[in-house]
A and B are shown apart, each in its own frame.
Chain A
Amino acid sequence: MQKPSILILWRPLIKEAIRILSDDYDYLSVLASDTAGKMYQIRSRSSELRDFMCERGIVARAIRGGSVVEVSLNQLPGDAQTLAGELKSALDAQFDWVRENKVETYTAHLEEEKQEGDFIVEPLVSFASVTMEDKLKRLQDLVKEVQAKDGRIVNAIAAMGEVTVHKLFISKHKNLYQAYPWSQGYLVGVAVGEKGVKMAFTSVSGQKGAEILEELETKVPVILSQVDDVLLAKPIEPGEYDVICTPEITGLIAHEAFGHGVEMDMFVKERALAMSYIDKPVASAKVTMHEGALGPKNVSSFAFDDEGVLAGDTIVIDDGILKTGIADALSASRLGIRPTGNGKRESFERKVYTRMTNTYFSAGTDHLDDMIASIKFGYLLDGMESGMEDPKNWGIQCVLSRAYEIVDGKKTGKVHGPVILTGHVVDLLKSIDAVSDDFEMFGAGFCGKGHKEYVKTADGGTYIKAKARLG
């Protein structure tokens, strides 16, 4: 069972404060967060144990005459009347500033259905059921095993992050509470070769409890193999190639290419080229892409988003045709559509943006062996390092740690890296001519909006075969 949260105490306080203020605003809501987490990190020569992804506080959103203002606090008074007074003071000061400075504002009108409910997800193995001692010991054993098996590894790192999220959303018509776990683990091998220090990385993640440790313990052969590869890797000859992307890279492409591209706060700003491509082909007919917290369970699966909108599962691309985007509540209001459950905050301290949750390409019917056999000269791409979106101009940048050479339908054993995949999103997606019947999700990374607002997202999919520019 999960530990009780302070939100149980805050719930009646916030509900009463909202009742007190209900006539002062056209709309008023409060999101309260209480997220607790720990990161256990063992390195060859030092260890760390620290808080991870923790937050505790509230954010109130008010709308008056269409104008939107917010205030974030983490010092709550003990009674509802005082809380209502503090919120009113901070919110009204901003409405006054808008009026006194004659500032023109965008308008929003949030209409809500009555919704109440508690959504609790219990992990298979609770974090508390495995002692801290056991967790640290198992991570230490992993570090020792990795380092013992390859003398070139000068530093091995094994880490596990465990997080329990509690969120409460209260407005005039909504009273929602959710609690769920997520966890992630990773193994890192830092090795010295002829070309200096190189690093390999593998991870596990999910809406899971302490069972994530067992998954991590299966990854030792993976990290050892990757260390071999990055030490051998040489720069690639720049050019356009036939490539096969592993599900991890497919997920990265889905995320960067059309995940960010259909975040509809970008439609409001006219920053997304996708808004003029709805119901038009943007990918090969083999491509179907989903986005939503109701998708495969992973680190960004939840019952409701940070605006109290229930989670969804949006088909963004259906058989190659761009169908729709994803939207937070304010953007949806301005576009005259329904929100999709994609309004997320980095924490209660930050603004809501349209954000991704689980983004993935659906599985196809092709087989990986056949896909490799069909390549005369090309590369199998693996090892996500980073990616960057360009919704306005549909450029894409993905940095990958490894490209495995394929000649005459067979992997040659040669490896190149790091590799930068670039190109035009639609050219890349339209070039996909095979989609495998595999499927895997990845959630160990963080996603930014531009270069800030980092949140957990998951992405994945299948092996895909395409043409891509590598450099």
Chain B
Amino acid sequence: MEDILLHLLRTTPQIHEFSVQFRQTDSAEWFYIRHKLDQSRRKSVKYGFVKLYVDHDGKRGHAEFIAYPSHTEEDLKRLIREALASAKLIENQAYVLPEKAEANPLLETVDRIELGKKIIDFTFAMEAKYQGEINSFEVFTNSHAIRFVNSNQTDVTYGVNDAFLEMIVNANDGEKEIELMREWRFASFDPQQMEIRYEEVFREARDRASAMPTPDLKKAELILGGENVKELFGIYRSATTANAIFNKASTFTQGQNVQENAVGDKISFTMTARLVASCANAPIDEDGVLLKPVVVMDQGVFTTIWGESRYCQYLDVPITGNLKNMDVASGSKSLSEIERSNAVEVLDFSSFVVDETSGDFGGEIRLGYLIQDGVKTAISGGSINGNLLELHQNIELSVERQDIDRFSGPLKIRIADVTVSGIKAA
């Protein structure tokens, strides 16, 4: 399929430009219920994700299709004909694909079965060590071999390995049993980091089992950590993209002091091609842009629009490419300062909802801590909500850092004046 498709794309005269990403994914998966294997699975699939571009009447149209290994040459010819017809109907402002990019091949092989077994054994060992109670867990180990080719002679091959673990943990206070869910995606298995996470989730499950109803505080200072920090900062990541700015989904302007009059920490972040724990590291993006780090916000000032080549061209700004990893600078507060009294810390939401367009965020509290007079009391129920773009004048970031999938940055943050809807009188 690969050679035939490339030949057809290169020799069809109506195609002005094209790009194609061939992706071979091999996976091993295990599903456990308590200590018994529910089932195991293996997967081996290959796809060609094709984009072709047609210039017409001063405009550019493009169409996409997926090529399968089962496609014959005749199938591929038909798909190209249909995509050409589609692209001619799309009238977007003109743009071009990036110039030829070169990158060193990076293909690290991993024994997926051995890695999966290591994660399973480690999980049971941690359960025993910390006297936790695992209800069920799922382990996925994946290898992706990627080849990117475009019409500007770019031909780059690289590999990505990742693993995913979803775990349900129970705890019982003698009257009722509760559960907590955790998901971890990681590029490489680090037993030390994983042990910290296991110890935390077993402890937090026990705390949820004995949690009291969240008091109806109306307003509180909110502490968030872990993945929730990454999710919340997605608002800045999205609002600074060329796509959002061109399509008016963001009111940010380059050079704007986004946090004018801030009394807390000022946000600085870089979008980058590589982070230590990211599963999305890649030398180039989906258009073939060679990726390099870009400082997007510096001390609260929006310095650089970044994003897909097409939208950067529309805005006439330098092309950065579609970078996947966010690296946020540390703040000024130690963890103990962030965790000072008179705050609600939420560790676990039913689902943390973040609207990257409006800046609204919120969610039901599955497990939190009310921190008063130096004492942490577990709470559950009720919800929090707020708008980051209205509240970020008073945000504090920890000095201590975390490295997780697609994110490096403060371990915890503290935001003032967040709405807390509790379920018992404060």
Interface positions of A (Cβ within 8 A of B): 6, 43-51, 54, 56-57, 67-76, 90, 93-94, 97-98, 101, 103-106, 132-133, 136, 154-155, 190, 192, 195-199, 235, 238-239, 268-271, 330, 349, 351, 385-390, 392-393, 395-397, 399, 418, 420, 422-423, 450-452, 469-471
Closest A residue by C-beta to B69: A75
A45 to B40, CA, bound (A): 47
In contact, A97 and B113 (Cβ under 8 angstroms) = yes
Interface residue from A98, A386, A420 paired with B40 (Cβ < 8 Å): A98
Instruction: Knowing that A399-B353, A450-B181 touch, tell me 8 more A-B residue pairs with CB under 8 angstroms.
Output: A57-B45, A155-B249, A269-B136, A269-B168, A271-B179, A422-B382, A469-B423, A471-B420
In contact, B178 and A51 (Cβ under 8 angstroms) = no
In contact, A103 and B42 (Cβ under 8 angstroms) = no
CB neighbours (8 Å) of A450 from chain B are: 166, 181, 183
Q: Does B298 contact A (CB under 8 A)?
A: no
In contact, A70 and B39 (Cβ under 8 angstroms) = yes
Q: Does B321 contact A (CB under 8 A)?
A: no
Q: What are 29 A-B pairs with beta-carbon distances under 8 A?
A: A43-B247, A45-B246, A46-B247, A47-B91, A47-B92, A73-B44, A74-B47, A75-B69, A94-B41, A97-B40, A106-B37, A136-B89, A155-B247, A195-B390, A197-B248, A198-B358, A238-B422, A389-B350, A392-B177, A392-B179, A393-B179, A395-B366, A418-B355, A423-B423, A450-B183, A451-B183, A452-B166, A471-B383, A471-B421
Interface residue from B247, B362, B389 paired with A45 (Cβ < 8 Å): B247
Q: Separation in Å of the A273 CB from the closest CB of chain B?
A: 9
A390 to B249, CA, bound (A): 33
A12 to B186, CA, bound (A): 41
- Stretch of B8-16, B60-68, B395-403 at the chain-chain interface: B60-68
In contact, B351 and A392 (Cβ under 8 angstroms) = no
A390 to B176, CA, bound (A): 14
In contact, B39 and A351 (Cβ under 8 angstroms) = yes
In contact, A132 and B86 (Cβ under 8 angstroms) = yes
Q: Does B253 contact A (CB under 8 A)?
A: no
Closest B residue by C-beta to A348: B45
Q: Does B372 contact A (CB under 8 A)?
A: no
In contact, B353 and A104 (Cβ under 8 angstroms) = no
Q: Does B17 contact A (CB under 8 A)?
A: no
In contact, B43 and A390 (Cβ under 8 angstroms) = no
Interface string of B42-53 (1 = CB under 8 A from A): 111111000000
In contact, B168 and A51 (Cβ under 8 angstroms) = no
Q: How many residues from B make CB contacts under 8 Å with A?
A: 78
* Given A50-B63, A104-B35, CB of A90 within 8 Å of CB of B350: no
Q: Separation in Å of the B25 CB from the closest CB of chain A?
A: 8
CB neighbours (8 Å) of B47 from chain A are: 74
Number of A-B contacts (CB under 8 A): 229
Q: Which of B44, B91, B251 has the most CB of A within 10 A?
A: B44
* Given A73-B45, A397-B351, CB of A392 within 8 Å of CB of B178: yes
Interface of B is mostly: strand
CB neighbours (8 Å) of B96 from chain A are: none
* Given A46-B247, A269-B136, CB of A422 within 8 Å of CB of B36: no
> What are the 5 tightest A-B residue pairs by CB atom distance, in nearest-first order?
A471-B421, A238-B421, A388-B351, A154-B248, A397-B364
A285 to B123, CA, bound (A): 45
A330 to B353, CA, bound (A): 33
CB neighbours (8 Å) of B358 from chain A are: 195-199
* Given A93-B42, A392-B178, CB of A190 within 8 Å of CB of B385: no
Q: Does B193 contact A (CB under 8 A)?
A: no
Q: Does B256 contact A (CB under 8 A)?
A: no
Those of B117-137 within 8 Å (CB) of chain A? 117, 135-136
Interface residue from B66, B218, B350, B387 paired with A388 (Cβ < 8 Å): B350
Q: Separation in Å of the A82 CB from the closest CB of chain B?
A: 14
CB neighbours (8 Å) of A104 from chain B are: 35-37
In contact, B357 and A197 (Cβ under 8 angstroms) = yes
Q: Separation in Å of the B350 CB from the closest CB of chain A?
A: 4
CB neighbours (8 Å) of A452 from chain B are: 166, 183
A50 to B421, CA, bound (A): 42
Q: Does B29 contact A (CB under 8 A)?
A: yes
* Given A72-B42, A190-B357, CB of A197 within 8 Å of CB of B383: no
In contact, B89 and A469 (Cβ under 8 angstroms) = no
Interface residue from A196, A386, A395, A471 paired with B419 (Cβ < 8 Å): A471
